[in-house]
Every structure is written in C-alpha cells, then in structure tokens.
Structure 1
Amino acid sequence: MNERKNLFVYIFVFIAAILVFSANIGGLSIYSLDEAKNSECAREMLERGDLIVPTFNYELRTDKPPVHYYFMMIAYKLFGVNEFSARFFSAVFGALTVLITFLFARRYLGEKVAFMTFIVLVSSLHTSVQFHMAVPDPYLIFWINAALFSFFVGFKEKKSIFIYLFYIFMGLGVLTKGPVAIVLPSAIILIYLFLIRNLNLGSIKFLRPIKGFLITLAVSLPWYVAVYIKTDGKWVYDFIFKHNIHRFSAPMEGHGGIFLVTFLFVFLGLLPFSIFIIQALKRVWKDKSKDILLFSLIFAAVYVGFFAISKTKLPNYTVPAYPPLAIILGYYLTQIHLSKLKSILASIVIYILLSIAIVIGLYFGIKNEPAIKDLSYLSLWFIILTVGGIFAFIFALKRNLVLSVLSLSVFSIFMSFIFFYKAFPPVDKRNPVMQMIPLIEKDKPVRYYRNFNPAFVFYLRKHIKPLKKNEISLFLDSSERVYILTRKRYLKDFSGMKNAFVLKIVKDLFENKVSALVSNKK
C-alpha cells in the first residue's frame, strides 16, 4: 500500500511540475537570441544528420556542447520542427529536477519538508520561465543537481552505485555546458568534506576519483575529440577561451554589474518564498548538524558566490542553486512558529510592496517600449501577486500559517499560468520576427545586410546568406521578388536605389536594435 501511495505522490509531483513548466510552450514564438540560435542549431544538425558539428545559419556555432541539441532533435522527430518541440524536453527536465529534489528532501528530512520544497520550486515564476526556454540551462540544472544529490546519498549511505552516478551526471553536464559541470560540483564536495572534517584518505579512497574521472571522460570526451577533429580544433578553442575563460573574466554582451547583482537575481528569482531567506538561513545555520542542510547551504553558497565574482552576470547562471535553496526554504517553512509572527508579517509586507513595485515597474517599462506601449495595461495582471500577499498577510494575522504559505504559492502559480497564456502572448506577437514573417514568401530568395535578428533563420528554415554593400543593387535587380533583412541604421546604404522598398520597420523588443525588411517590390 505504501509503495502505491509513494508512486502516486511521485507522479503527482512530476505532473504538477510539468503542467507549470510546459504552460503554452507551443504558443510563444522562438524569439530571444539564445532560443533562436539553439533551436535552429538543432534543426540544422537534424537536417544534415550530423551529431557532431553544431551550426547556426549553416556556420559553425561554438557557444555550447550538444546534449540539448540531441533532445531537441528527438522532439523534432516526434512532434515536428516547432516551438513546442524546441521547448518540450526543457519542461521535462524541469519536472525531473523538481522530482529529484523532492525525493532528496524526503529521504533525509521527511515528506512535509519535501512538499514545502516542491511548493517553493513550482511557485517561482523565474524557475518556470527558465524551464520554458529552448536553451541548455534546464538540462544543466538537472545534471548538476542529480550529480550532487547522488554524491550525497552515495557518501552518506556508502552506496557506490550513487558515486558512479555522480560521475556519469557530471560527464553529461560537461556535454551540456562544459567544464563548469566539473569545477563547481568538485568545489562544493571539497568544502563539504572539509567542514564535516571528513577530507581524509578514507573518504578519497571511497570516492574513487581516478576511476570516477575516467567515467566522466568516457561520457564526455568522445564528442569533444570528434568535434575537434571535424573542425580542426576551432570549436574547442573558441568554446574554452571565448565562452568560458573570457566570459568569466570579462562581461560579455553587456551582461556585467557588481557582485550584489547576482544575489538580487537569486532573491527575485525565488519569489515569493525568498522573502523568508534571511530567517531560513539563520534556522539552517542553527540546525547545520543535519548534514543535508549543511550540504544544501554549501551547494547554494558556492554556486551563487562563483557567479557573483564572475564578470558576466545573467539570471540563469545561478538557477542550479534553486533546488538546494528550495530545500533550505522548505525546511524553514516547516519550522516557523507563531512566536516569530512579527518577523513573518514583516516579510509578507515586503513581498506586498515588492509585488506593487513590479506592477509599477512593468507598467512604465512597457510604456517606454514603442512597439508595445499600448499594452501597458498587461502589467495589471501582476496584481495577482499582490492579492496573494494580502491573503497571506490576513491568514498570518489569524495565526493560520499553513493557509498563509498556500496563499503565496497558489497565487504565484496562478500568475505563472496567466503570464504564459494571457499577459505575455500579446507582447510576443509584437516582436519584429512575428511582424515580418507573414510578409516574406518563404520560397523566395532572402539575404541579410550587416546584421539581423537570428530568429528569422528558425522560421525561414534556410541559409540566409550575407550581402556586401556593392551586392545590394544587383540582388534587388532580380526579376522575382527578393528580400533583405537588416537594421534600420543601415537603411542609409539603400538610399538612391529605385528598386529598394522598405516593407516594415519594427524595434526589437526590450533592445536598442531596430529590424528592417527591404524588398524589390512593394
């Protein structure tokens, strides 16, 4: 009977998570630069039947290793090449991440903490957004957490199979995003062993680091060798030096900032329950004799700390730390007591004020974006978060902390569905790609001049070749309709050409770039 009950619980956790993480994944365009390049890269590899060399717009792409491309290719084969397929396995890996975090917390802290941990993760809008995206991060998040959870179980319970799983998952992490999947887990484990005074020869012998390293290499190295050979070393060189060392040592693509930015990303990303993070950290430090709490604390601290000192800062970098932070918050939420009511109420008030600030910030942010300024009313949807905060405050005043926590969770999850089905779709339809694609006959020649939005390649599904300035006029002289994708700033180079007609100019959403579509016919 217990086994049937456990199975039902596991299925419930997985299905609930995947429902949240897959909300409208097929109804939103592949528009952001990262989604566009990753989705198209997988499509081109599938088209060529090539499992080794990643390309975007049929040119070498050195940004990421191939695991997420493989899963996208599987989805393309199953469901066709579309937005749903590109994001399908991101949602699946998100649900798997929630499930293994639930199982890990349940194993050592009990079912109540496990459910609170589950609630923290599925209530986070940023977690939901991350697992909605056709990028490698959802896969890396799973591998990192699966690896570290496996290490903990294996080391604590002296089960070698979990230690081997740790090395396998690390290898898959290296195949997903590179050396970071070895560096950070290794640092976390060394610090943990040192703090529990177990960094000794016996522990190292049990962990079998030489055999384990060979397992990790066996999983990851063959592809790196193959891509090195096929690209004469260019892929490996660019990936290691440009996308790893340089990204850590210098801001890339304008994503910099002081170290506090990373902590802000984490705090905002784990709302609504991050409002209790100070109390939770204090409680966990007090109860750090419980190994899993100390391990979760070190896991989160190393991950967040590493990217705080990294010169390139993005909100998605620290998401692998969300599961251990959710365990910390979940543990606290099962320990809170009415004697701490003032502290709880103060945190909820902060949340209410933050949610109001989010509404106001979004209103003016949308208002200042020319392409969508008439959609500023959509920001009002986020009042749902404020309402959840108000209900949480009322229930806390009535000393019903369970309903207070549920109010924060239910309204936040509801907001997640509203965001993906109601609030964001009207904005998404205003992006330049969605505005211009209906104007382009896909069987006609399309070129680009100087620069263009990469999402066009995914939707046109063909090589968009570049044009030089002295080639524009000849291309436009064609007897059939042709198209040129470019930016508004380069339209001056088309002046004086009698057969150059600007069909549409649309500002890229939330960026300074303005896309332009030129044709030789009106």
Structure 2
Amino acid sequence: MNRDLAAALFVFISSFIIFSANIGGLSIYSLDEAKNAECAREMLERADLIVPTFNYQLRTDKPPLHYYFMMISYSIFGVNEFSARFFSSLFGAFTVLITFLISHRYLGYRVAFFSFIALISSLHFSIQFHMAVPDPFLIFWINAALFSFLIGFKEDKKLFIYLFYIFMGLGVLTKGPVAVVLPSGIILLYLLFTGNTSIKTLKKLRIPSGLIVTALVSLPWYIAVYIKTDGKWVYDFIFKHNIHRFSEPMEGHGGIFIVTLLFIFFGMLPFSVFIPQTLKLAWKNRKESIILLSLIIVGVYTIFFSISGTKLPNYTVPLYPALAILTGYFLDNIFRFSNRSLYISLSFYTIIGLILTAGLFIGIRNEPEISDLSYLSLYFLLLPLSGILAIFMLRKSRIIPVLTVSAFSVFLGFLFFYYLFPKIDKRNPVYQMMPLIEKDRDIRYYKNFNPAFVFYLKKEIKPLKKDEIQGFLHSDEKVYILTRKRYLNELKGIKDLVILKQVKDLFERKISVLITNRKD
C-alpha cells in the first residue's frame, strides 16, 4: 500500500469512527431529527420516492436526497437510530477526506494533516455528522463542488468542471437553491479576484452545458413533486422555507450579525482561537489558489448568514472545511509567529474553556429535569486543562501543544457521545413515556406534541378536537392522548381523563403530557 492511499484510509476511517460514535445509542429526539427520520420511514413504507410526509401529512421543509440515503440504510439495518444517522456519519468522513486530499494536492502533507486535525477536533462539526438531518449531505456536496471547480479550473480538467455542476445538482436535491446560489457567488468572486473574466476563461467553465447537467440532476424530482402535490410542495418550500427564512427570523432563531461570528468561533474550537493569525497569514498568501478560494468561502458564508433573518449554528458549517484548510496552513507555519501571540491565543482558549464549563453548569442546573446532572459539565474542564498544558509545552515545542489540544478535544468528544449526553438523553420525555405506551393501542394528540413519538410508534398520530376527547376516552379499550401542559386547563372536567405522566422537554419551555383513560 502506497503512502497516499494509507494516509487517505487513515483519515477516512478515523473520521468515521469519531463521527459515528454511539449514533445508535442516542434517541431520535430533536425536532429536526425526528421529522427527517420519520419522513424517510414513511416514504419507505409507501415505496414513494416523490412526496415527503411527516405523520402522513405533506412535509415541505426539505427536498428528498437525504431521505433516500436513510431509506437505503433502513432497508439494510432496519428502522432505528443507527440507520437514521449512518449515512450522515459516512458523509462526514467523506467531507474530511476531500478536505485532506485538496489540501495535500496544493499545500502538501503537513497542511493536509493539520486541516484534518482542525476538523476532527471540532465537537460542533462532529455533532453535525451525528444527526439525521440534511446538513451533513449538503456540507459534503458544497465542498465537493467547490474543490472540484478548483481542480477543474486550475488544471483545465473537464471531468472536474462537470463534477462541480453534478455536486451542485445533488445539493439542490438536498436543501434547495442555496446549493447553487452560494457556490456560484463564491466562484464569481474567485474569478474577479484572480482576474479571470475573459470570454476564453468563461468557456473553460462550460456554463451552458454545466447548468444543463445541474438541471438534469435536480429538476426531475421537483417537476414530479410539483405535479403530485399540485404545486403546493414547491410553493411552500420556495417561499416559506427559503425566501421567508432568509428575510425574517423563523421559530425564534434570529439575532444580530455577531451571532453568526460566535457560531463560527465556538463551532471551530479549539483552533478558532488562532483565527486572527490564520486570517493574517492567509491574506498575505492569497495568491495561492486554494488559500484564496478558502478565504472567499469563509467570507461569503459569514456575510450571507450574518444578514440572514434566520440564524442557526448549522448554517455556517459548510465553511468549516475551508477554515480548516486555512488553519492547517497556519499551523504548518506556526514557527513564524511569536511566542507572545501564541500564549495570548492559548490563554484565551483556557479562559473560554472555563467560561464554557461554568455556562454549561448553570444551564444544566437550571433545567429541572436534569439539574442533578450538572456535575457532567465539569468534564468540560478538559478544555482549559489542555490549554494550560499547551501553554507550558509551548516553551519547548510548537507542534506538541497543538496535538495536545486536539487530543483532549477528540477525547472529550468520545466522552460526550458515549457517557455525558446519554445520561441527559434518558431524561427526555419520549424516552420516559414510551415504556408506558402500548403501541398497538389507539393514540391521538390534542393541539401539539413532540414529533419524536411518531418515529418510535411508527404509525400516524391523528389529531383530536376538544369535543371529540370525551368520546375517545370513553372507549372500552385503553387509549392515549399526547398533548402539552399548557392545554390541560382546556380539558378540565372531562371524564375518564387520567394524566399518566408529565415531562418537560429538554432545553425547551414545553412540557409533554401523556393522557390515558385508565390507570392499569
């Protein structure tokens, strides 16, 4: 086995091990995971590749490509937490691999290795690829498209130019127009910065035939779903989940522009503490094509989602590979920087680690269902501890402190997925209530309920109106109703109503309630 293949296999396998850590041992509980995982299950159940549904009602949030991967996984491994997340973890490993390969191609082994280190050290990056949502796939498609463009354009390779268009098409099938709009803007800026705006240059991009390829990959499904839903899916997706989401905050996820910067900073810890040095060095060496492209990717994503009405931590994750390349370039040139500069960054990291630990302690302590688990936050003291060790090691070496901080961060990631979060996960209302529900019994909901119940019950949960509840509970058979605590006052005086359990949804204000018609 040659060196290049061995290195690529090491990067891929180790990344997959990190990103798949305990993916089968954690509940499908968050709203996004529950709806995506259940939507794929329902499509598989109906053998329907066109119309996405959740709780057997049309779901217009996302296109279907990630559902297809989940359906394949369900067919192989069965419908469970592991299979819902398997391809997310796999695409995470692919994302790290292509970042390593493009770095190696243009900047050498050392930069490629440090880029790899920067990505696997990010707990937030790892969390993204632990989730049964479309983002892991979009992150890969966008970066694969941009890296393919660079190779195709710089080395005049037609195959990679067409791969650029294919990957954009797959991105459109994963999350919509954003997979074309942002990469196209990035490429335009790259061409402007490099002065490649001549007709001859544009011909190299094969824009007409390339856009046809993108359309052939993505449009057939959009046309099919338009026909099968009389245009409703396309209308809701474009106007509600794209235009409205960009122009206004949705579901309370708004904030000023600095929120996006904070997402990036905390998301790329530990090595985001070197962002000032990283960007300074990158700007000085922007004539290097991969450095310039990475700077543009980071800049475009940061600005775009800073002005977006809706702000979420996952929106900027597609820039992480580019930022990792720039970070890898900095770490390879860390000897150029003074000890004072590095001491300041590592000291800041130590302080941030202490603040983060204190914040987690307070946050968990103030969450009634898990307040007794606040001690778990103390494990995050590993972060400032690694910062302190790195400061002392800096006197003798520049590389060992980097590897120390990375090793502690990766170790904390394994602790988080195998030990810390499972303890919290067991306190969620779905985990607490499912053992109380006989799955073959009739179950309905009143006004609102946690969507994860649909995934675990594997059947439709139909709504009840207030005037239907009395008759439903009067059944000779045991039946159940899911609702929220805030609606209980509306149900006072209804006969046969027994509150079986109430559990607060973790880190939310909602309280899930399970109602039945008999205690036995």
Alignment of 1:151-166 (within 5 A): 151-166=149-164
Look up the match of 1:330: 328
Look up the match of 1:149: 147
1:494 Cα deviation after fit: 2.1
- Which of 263, 267, 270 in structure 1 is aligned with 2:268? 270
Alignment of 1:103-122 (within 5 A): 103-122=101-120
Look up the match of 2:132: 134
Unmatched tracts of structure 2, length 5 or more: none
Look up the match of 2:184: 186
- Which of 46, 49, 59 in structure 2 is aligned with 1:48? 46
**In the aligned structure 2, how far is the partner of 1:336 from the partner of 1:4?**
29
- Which of 486, 495, 499 in structure 1 is aligned with 2:496? 499
Tell me if the contact between 2:31 and 2:452 (Cα under 8 Å) persists in the aligned partners.
yes
Residue 404 in structure 1 maps to residue 404 in structure 2: no
Task: Specify the SS of the correspondent of 1:463.
Answer: coil
1:497 Cα deviation after fit: 2.1
Residue 464 in structure 1 maps to residue 461 in structure 2: yes
Look up the match of 2:71: 73
What are the Cα deviations for residues 291-323 of structure 1, in whole angstroms up to 9, with x where unaligned?
A: 110111001110111111101000000000000
What are the Cα deviations for residues 68-112 of structure 1, in whole angstroms up to 9, with x where unaligned?
A: 000000000010000000000000000000000000000000000
Q: Give the alignment's TM-score, normalised by structure 2.
A: 0.99
Look up the match of 1:512: 509
**In the aligned structure 1, how far is the partner of 2:486 from the partner of 2:337?**
62
Task: Specify the SS of the correspondent of 1:337.
Answer: helix
Task: Specify the SS of the correspondent of 2:310.
Answer: coil
- Which of 210, 213, 217 in structure 1 is aligned with 2:211? 213
- Which of 83, 93, 113 in structure 2 is aligned with 1:95? 93
Tell me if the contact between 1:338 and 1:399 (Cα under 8 Å) persists in the aligned partners.
no
1:184 Cα deviation after fit: 0.3
Residue 38 in structure 1 maps to residue 32 in structure 2: no
Residue 425 in structure 1 maps to residue 422 in structure 2: yes
**In the aligned structure 1, how far is the partner of 2:314 from the partner of 2:54?**
22
Amino acid in structure 2 at the alignment position of 1:473 = Q
Identity value in percent: 65
Residue 169 in structure 1 maps to residue 167 in structure 2: yes
Question: Using a 3 Å threshold, how does the CA distance of structure 1 residues 274 and 339 change in structure 2: closer, same or farther?
Answer: closer
Aligned residue pairs total 519
Deviating 4+ runs (over 3 angstroms)? none
RMSD: 0.7
Look up the match of 1:321: 319
**In the aligned structure 2, how far is the partner of 1:507 from the partner of 1:194?**
53
Q: Give the alignment's TM-score, normalised by structure 1.
A: 0.99
**In the aligned structure 2, how far is the partner of 1:319 from the partner of 1:200?**
33
Residue 483 in structure 1 maps to residue 471 in structure 2: no
Look up the match of 1:292: 290
Amino acid in structure 2 at the alignment position of 1:278 = P
- Which of 5, 8, 14 in structure 2 is aligned with 1:7? 5
1:399 Cα deviation after fit: 2.9
- Which of 372, 375, 385 in structure 1 is aligned with 2:373? 375
Amino acid in structure 1 at the alignment position of 2:208 = I
Tell me if the contact between 2:61 and 2:241 (Cα under 8 Å) persists in the aligned partners.
yes
1:393 Cα deviation after fit: 1.0
**In the aligned structure 2, how far is the partner of 1:456 from the partner of 1:137?**
23
Residue 451 in structure 1 maps to residue 448 in structure 2: yes
**In the aligned structure 2, how far is the partner of 1:50 from the partner of 1:274?**
44
Look up the match of 1:225: 223
Task: Specify the SS of the correspondent of 1:81.
Answer: coil
- Which of 344, 347, 354 in structure 1 is aligned with 2:345? 347
Tell me if the contact between 2:499 and 2:516 (Cα under 8 Å) persists in the aligned partners.
yes
1:338 Cα deviation after fit: 6.4
**In the aligned structure 1, how far is the partner of 2:56 from the partner of 2:103?**
45
1:498 Cα deviation after fit: 2.8
Amino acid in structure 2 at the alignment position of 1:405 = V
